[in-house]
Amino acid sequence: MHNPLDPALNRAIEAINIAHAADPKGKEQAYCASVSKWVAQLTPAPSEALQLAACCQHFERWSIPRSSYPMDKPGYLRWRKDLAHRQGERIHEILTAAGCEEELIERVSLLVAKKIPRSDTEAQTLEDAACLVFLDEQLDDFATKNSEKMLAIAQKTWAKMSDTAHTLALKLPYSEQAQALLKKALAP
């Protein structure tokens, strides 16, 4: 997907992949690949910033354990804020060391931190890709819990998505439980 002739971009992606490999649960590289796959389906020629941002979703998320914060909504929000701050610092560090332009580094950081409104095409594409990964790879697990919280999560996920992503999501092969949850979530 990326331009193989751009040495800075190649170095950046290599450094990001090395950082992903340090994930003790081994999930970051697969998540990066899934988000990147959906970005490629959503936009025919993603910019370098969008490609890098797709690779940096959940970047070093393991470095600040969720369990180190209170297990309530304020604790979750504080964890997300602290994690986004650390991710931004690390991404800036890696992209700078790779020789990327400051403008590109700033754009990637803003996309990853979700500090660009979804009215921005790339920000919406990145959101769509993350939502599609959730629906494609994780909804089945959520659907087995069959609670009002899971219903709310499905509804919030759907609300974040563009019409294009909705069309793709409706074509995914869901389990019966996931189909039932999604049907209930989409009911008027």
Look at the pTM and tell me if it is higher than 0.95. Answer: no
Residue 113 CB: number of other CB atoms within 10 A?
17
Per-residue pLDDT tens listing for the chain (188 residues): 555 558 888 999 999 999 999 999 989 999 999 999 999 999 989 999 999 999 998 899 999 999 999 999 999 999 999 998 899 899 999 999 999 999 999 999 999 988 888 899 999 999 999 999 999 999 988 777 767 888 899 999 999 999 999 999 999 999 998 998 899 999 98
pLDDT at 64: 92
pLDDT at 118: 81
pLDDT at 188: 83
In the block, tokens 């660009």 appear at: 116
Gap between the Cα atoms of 70 and 72, Å rounded: 6
Cα-based torsion angle of the residue sequence 110, 114, 120, 121 in order, rounded to the nearest 10 degrees: 100
pLDDT at 146: 62
Give backbone dihedrals phi and psi of 115, rounded to 5 degrees, phi first: -100, 15
pLDDT at 47: 94
pLDDT at 115: 87
The domain spans of the chain are 7-117, 138-188
The CA-atom distances, in angstroms, between 92 and each of 28, 34, 87, 101 are: 18, 23, 8, 11
